[in-house]
Structure 1
Amino acid sequence: MANTAEQLVTAAALDCTAARKPMRADARRNYDRLLAAARAEFASRGAGASLEEIARRAEVGVGTLYRHFPTRQALLEAVYVEEVMALCRSAEDFAAAAPWDALADWLSRFVDYVATKRALAEEMMTTMSKDAPVFRTCHDAIFAAGEPLLARAKAEGVVRDDVEFLEVIQLVSGITMVRNATPDQMKRVLSVALDGLRYGVEAG
């Protein structure tokens, strides 16, 4: 039997995140606070956010930051991977929803994710290839989470059956590249794009 999407996402998460030694409770708290602070700083200031400001926001010393993340790249990668895994796990939130609603709501989260994390990926690619293992395994995790949602919608007959998940991702990713678009404008364009995937829209 093929692996379930949940198993694939878990496997990809393990590949994306380097094995870490078990942490003491206080070290784990500092690690989590640094990740949260980094997410907030990168969201508000972009990938060029100051490491010193991230440490200050996390209420730890810069030395603590460097113990957990020896390089800026290591911190960028950790934040990127955590966000990918959060996106993948969010697919589980829609398990009980109608197939079309599950797919549309998850793709809405995907647009939010791409819009806010593009700068992180771009800075990471200044020192690594787009084919680097972290990108490949996180790509696989996203597909493992999203493809079953599309398959379920196809099986229900609410999505055209000639569309592939890669095409859907390319479609919605393009929305995030519209310059100066507000979140509300992106949501509006997403709703129009998703109508192109559906069966029976005109009759609805």
Structure 2
Amino acid sequence: MASSGSRSQRADWQRNHERLLAAARPLVARDGARVSFEEVAREAGVGSATLHRHFSSRRVLLDEVFREAVERLRRRGDELAGGDPGTGLLAWLEELTVTAVETRGLTASLEGDADGGPSSADGCHGVVREATVNLVDAALAAGAVRPGTSPDDLLALVTAISLANEGDPAAARRLLRLACDGVRP
């Protein structure tokens, strides 16, 4: 049986975690992936050591801040995988691009080496890459995209378009559609 002291520690840990996320969300919205760890800790009213106990890296913090958007993308990728492979892939790329353009800092988080190392499979990049691989594989098998089309190339394309058009989803959609014309067989 857990002692009341350990329950209190877990409650404190959870409370600090929620305070850190609440402080991080508006700072990430303002500063994107370059958010200052020190400012997040200061806004949450905790020390930087507490922040680092909860979030070992910027990538871990961003993955948690962006979890809701990434979960929505994961579900959408699953839905699209059940339909026409070519249409599903193009719809996925467009929805991914628009989400990245409208969510400041998400694009940088989706980059595989944004934090100097690989992201976990459960992190933003891992979730998005897995859905992209599944959709590209299905589209390749159906002949809906050019042979040799790679998930990583398409993710690089989405990243470039998103970074160039942050805050302008209409321009991002237009550029993505132009680029996808070159992916069709």
Instruction: Find out whether 1:62 has 2:28 as its counterpart.
Output: no
User: Which residue of 94, 100, 106 maps to 1:113?
Assistant: 100
Q: Report Cα offsets for 1:22-75 as digits up to 9, x if no partner.
A: 9835643542453244133212234345326642xxxxx335x753x1389746
- Among 130, 146, 167, the residue aligned to 1:144: 130
- The verdict on how the C-alpha distance between 1:100 and 1:183 changes in structure 2, with shifts beyond 3 A counting, is same
Indicate how the Cα distance of structure 1 residues 26 and 53 shifts in structure 2: closer, same or farther if over 3 A, else same: closer
The equivalent of 2:4 in structure 1 is none
User: Could you say if the C-alpha distance between residues 26 and 164 of structure 1 is closer, same or farther in structure 2, counting changes exceeding 3 Å?
Assistant: same
Q: Equivalent of 1:76, from 58, 62, 76?
A: 58
Matched, 1:102 2:85: no
Structure 1 match to 2:75: 92
Residues 153-162 or 29-38, more deviating: 29-38
TM-score (normalizing by structure 2): 0.63
Q: What is the deviation of 1:189? A: 0.9
Helix, strand or coil: the match of 1:116? coil
Distance 1:179 1:171, change over 3 A: closer
Name 2:3's counterpart in structure 1.
none
Q: What amino acid maps onto 1:113 in structure 2?
A: A
Matches within 5 A, 1:36-55: 36-46=22-32, 47-48=34-35, 50-51=39-40, 54-55=43-44
**CA deviation digits over 1:162-193, x for unaligned, max 9?**
31112212222221342677222112211221
Q: Tell me how far 1:148 sits from its aligned partner.
A: 0.8
Q: After TM superposition, give the deviation of residue 101 of structure 1 in Å.
A: 3.7
Q: Cα RMSD (Å) of the superposition?
A: 4.1
Q: How many residues align?
A: 167
Percent of aligned pairs sharing the same letter: 28
Q: Which has the higher contact order (CA 8 A, sep 6+)?
A: 1
Partner of residue 193, structure 1: 179
> In structure 2, what is the equivalent of residue 19 of structure 1?
none
Relative to 1, partners in 2 of residues 1:119 and 1:195: Cα closer, same or farther, differing over 3 Å? closer
Unaligned runs of 5+ in 2: 1-6
Give the whole-Å Cα distance in 1 for the aligned partners of 2:88 and 2:15: 33
* Structure 1 alignment gaps of length 5 or more: 1-21, 56-60, 200-204
Counterpart in the other structure of 2:169: 183
